[in-house]
Every structure is written in C-alpha cells, then in structure tokens.
Amino acid sequence: MAGIGFRLTKYFTEKDFYKNLKGSIYSIIISSGPWLLSVISIAVLGVFAKRGLGNQDLFVFKCIISYSFAFSLILFGLVELPLTRYLADRLFISDQSSFRNVYLMIGAGFVVIGGLAAFGFYSFFDWGIDLVLLCVALLVSILLTWHSMIFLSAAKHFHQIVMSFVLGMLSSIVFGLVLGHFFGLIGYVGGFTFGQIIQVVLLARNLFKEFPSYDLLVFEVFDYFFRFRSMMAIGFLYYLGIWMDKFLFWFSDVGTHVEGLFYTSQNYDTSIFLSYLSIVPSLAVFLVNVETNFYIKYSYFFRSIQKKNDLKFLESAGLDIVESFQNTFSSLIRLQAFISIILWFFASNILSALALPQVLTPIFRYGLIGSFFQVLFLVLNIALLYFKEVRSVLINYLCFFLTNTLFTYLTLKFTPELKYYGFGYMLSSIVTFFLSFYFLNITFKNLNYITFMRQPIRHNIEPEMI
C-alpha cells in the first residue's frame, strides 16, 4: 500500500486542519474501508431491522454477513501475497499491461470457487433458492472487493477509491432499508448485497481506467502460486488465526445455535469486534507514515547496492533503515497505546453508551490489548516480508494460529466465567508480537549478510577459445 501512502502524505505536509482532516479520512477509508464501512452499514441496518424483524431473523442476518466476511478472508488469504508479489514485480519493470487480464482471470476464479463453496454451505439450510443465491452473491462480492484492493493499491486516483467505498456503504444502507421494509430478511440481505455489488463494480471501473491496456493471455501469474507456496500459507494462516477464537466460541457450549450451520457467540463477537475498531487510526498511520518512511530508506539501500557503493556506505544506509523503522514504529506504539489506554479506562462508559451489558467489559478490555499487539506484530511481519523473510513470517503466523486456538480452547475449558473470555486471544497476540520482534531484530542485525548471501549465484563463463 506504499503507493497510495506516498500520495496521501501531501495532506500532512502543512499544518492545515481541514487538509489534515481530509487526509486522515482518506487514509482511514483506504486502509480499513471494506470492513469498517461494512460495520457501519450493519450497525445502521441492525437498528432499523429490530423493528421489522424478529430476533431469530436478525441473528440470521448478522450471521450471514459475519460468515461471509470470515470465509471470504480465509479464502482470499491463499491468493493475496503471491498475487501482490506478481504485481510488485511487474511494477518494478514498469509493465502494467497484464493487470486487467490478471484481475479478470483471478476474479473469475473467485466467482467460481467462492460461489460453489458458498452454495454448498448454504445448501444445508432450509431456505428458498432466492435467499441462497443472495448469500452466494454476497460472499463473492466481498471476495472481489478484497481482490480489487490489491490492484488499486498501485492506483493514482485514490479519491475515486474512497468514493467507491462510500457509495457502496450508502447503497447497502438505502437498499437494505427499502427492500427490508417490504420483504423482511430477504430484503435486508438483498439490499446489503446489492450495495456490495455496486462497490465492486465501481472499484473495477476505477481499475480499468487506471490500467487501460492489457494482454489477451497472461498465465505467468499462476507460476507465482507454485513458486511462492509459503506465501499462500502465510495469508491463509493469518486470516484463519484471526477467526479461530471466534470459531471456537461459536461452536462451544457458550455459543448459540441460530439456524442450520449458523452458530454465534453474541457477547464475545460484539466485544472483540468493538476492540478491533481501536486499531483503525494505527492502520491509517501505517499507510501514510510508517511504510512510506521505511520504504524510502529501504529503496535507497538497495539502489546503493546497484550503484556498487562501498561497504561503509552500505552499512550507513542499512543503519538508516533500522533507525527509520524504529522511529516510526515507536510513534505507532505511542499512538496505539494512547488510544487503547483511553478506551480501556472508559470501557464501561463506552458499553453503557452503546446500550451493551457491563459484563462485556472484561472481554472488551482483553480485546483492546489483543488488538494493540496484533496491529504491532502485523507491521513487524510486513517489514520482514520486505526482506523476503518468508520463513520467519510463516513461523510467526503459524504461532498466531496455534496459540490463538490453544489459549482460547483452554480459556473455554478451564475458565467458564465470562470475565476471562478474550484472555486467550490477548495472550496469543502478545506471544506472536514478541516472536515477530525477535525475528525482525535478527534481520536488522544481519542486514548486509542476509542481503548479499541470499543473492543467486550466476555463472557467466565464456567457452575457451581453441
């Protein structure tokens, strides 16, 4: 996302409140748009749905959206990093001719695979075909939104991306309210889905305008999924790790069976999702400040190698990378710590303002700490991927998946009291943070060694003249 980040920095070069505010809004929507605006849409629709839907249908509506986001992210995780690597390589050689074709091919694969998987899942429900097809369309549209964001991270016209998300959110709300009023559950699902489809269409339109030329047949991208299988595992484990604690709560004794294959744990889900909102400012800061500053030093270091500067010069450039990351990362820690501490202190007041029971306070507070460390280890692992430390990142995310699963399971098994829920997720995030910090620290200490010793050895030996 560094490409958009550089363009957003122009809003923060001057001490102009309105310009800074505008840049902050752009940063937040671009970094967190798909899920943040969807949360707002669901919240608005949920308020009005209470009047027209019974509790059962309201639970079903929320489960449809939650399950769609969960499984779309896990499936998308298999594709995200290899596809990002392919696009980055093409951008490096200034060749964008394949972008549109690759977008259509991978998107078509998402439509087929995601559609079939969703249809198979919803076939276990005693629903009419109309509601089933709407749910299938919802999951596919969310998948295509994640897919579009990879390509649009290199886009220049970020204003249009922001407008696409905003129009998608407004469409979901308006169509959901109108159709829900007349058709109940099907109307709410259909309206929300229609808004997501509009969002995908607008994002695709932006992409086609941004990358107008294309090759007819481009199959090179599929080679990346074979060459970078570890990256497929990284994305899959990260998103699966995010959802494992929710899955365990849904299907545990404290979970509630809603309908068909739908299970939920309302107390836990509400508290943890609220805590996730606390990291939105940090994601925006990372987009505009951390990654851009780090990338400047990073690219300077490797340009120095290409120019064949001496070792002393390279060591100085390497130290600049470390110093730049330490400074910006420290700023990120201070910002997120400030936000998390404030929210921790006023947790009871926040829950009261949202008309939520006070028994959720401990879960919310554990979630705040867990989210704090999760956004930090996410940044650390992105830095590791810049240096191709794929093995280290794979270990870190495998740790996150396993510890979140194990600690959450132990929490449910041995601490049946509500006040301990969320402790497993918090502890998992802390462990993963320190493991990620350890690997990045080793990388920084051995930066020159890692950089040179991992280069491929090329033999250019001319045949002997006889």
Q: What is the pLDDT of residues 249-276, one digit of tens each?
A: 999 988 999 999 999 998 898 899 889 9
Per-residue pLDDT band at 370 (split at 50, 70, 90): very high
The CA-CA-CA angle for residues 257, 260, 264, to 5°, reads: 35
Q: Please name which of 249, 466, 216, 242 lies closest in space to residue 374, comparing C-alpha atoms.
A: 242
C-alpha–C-alpha distance, residues 353 and 351, integer Å: 5
Per-residue pLDDT band at 90 (split at 50, 70, 90): confident
pLDDT in tens, 347-367: 999 999 988 898 899 999 999
Residues 6+ apart with CB under 8 A from 405: 241, 244, 245, 248
pLDDT at 129: 94
256 φ, ψ (degrees, to nearest 5) = -125, 130
pLDDT at 464: 40
C-alpha–C-alpha distance, residues 152 and 157, integer Å: 9
**Do the beta carbons of residue 428 and residue 371 sit within 8 Å?**
no
Classify 1 as helix, strand or coil.
Answer: coil
**Do the beta carbons of residue 27 and residue 284 sit within 8 Å?**
yes
Q: Please name which of 213, 212, 174 lies closest in space to residue 192, comparing C-alpha atoms.
A: 174
Q: Please name which of 79, 102, 104, 107 lies closest in space to residue 91, comparing C-alpha atoms.
A: 102
pLDDT at 162: 79
Return the top range by mean pLDDT from 188-202, 209-223, 403-417.
188-202
In this prediction, residues 29-52 reach a mean pLDDT of 73
C-alpha–C-alpha distance, residues 122 and 135, integer Å: 8
Counting Cα atoms < 13 Å in the Cβ hemisphere of 24 gives 9
Whether pLDDT at 2 is above 60: no
Per-residue pLDDT band at 137 (split at 50, 70, 90): very high
pLDDT at 217: 67
Classify 155 as helix, strand or coil.
Answer: coil
Place of tokens 């794979």: 394
191-to-63, 118, 138, 156 alpha-carbon distances in Å: 16, 19, 10, 31
Angle at which helix 423-445 crosses helix 229-250, to 10 degrees, equals 160
**Do the beta carbons of residue 40 and residue 169 sit within 8 Å?**
yes
127-to-72, 120, 122, 132, 264 alpha-carbon distances in Å: 21, 13, 8, 7, 19
Angle at which helix 55-92 crosses helix 185-210, to 10 degrees, equals 10
In this prediction, residues 389-415 reach a mean pLDDT of 94
C-alpha–C-alpha distance, residues 122 and 138, integer Å: 12
Strand partners, 262: 259
Give Cα 55 to chain centroid, integer Å. Answer: 30
The two structure tokens encoding residue 291: 């990654």
The CA-CA-CA angle for residues 292, 296, 300, to 5°, reads: 165
C-alpha–C-alpha distance, residues 266 and 59, integer Å: 9
What percentage of the chain's residues is helix, strand, coil (to nearest 5)? 85, 0, 15
C-alpha–C-alpha distance, residues 385 and 379, integer Å: 10
Q: Please name which of 158, 217, 155, 199 lies closest in space to residue 41, comparing C-alpha atoms.
A: 199
Per-residue pLDDT band at 179 (split at 50, 70, 90): very high
Residues 6+ apart with CB under 8 A from 398: 237
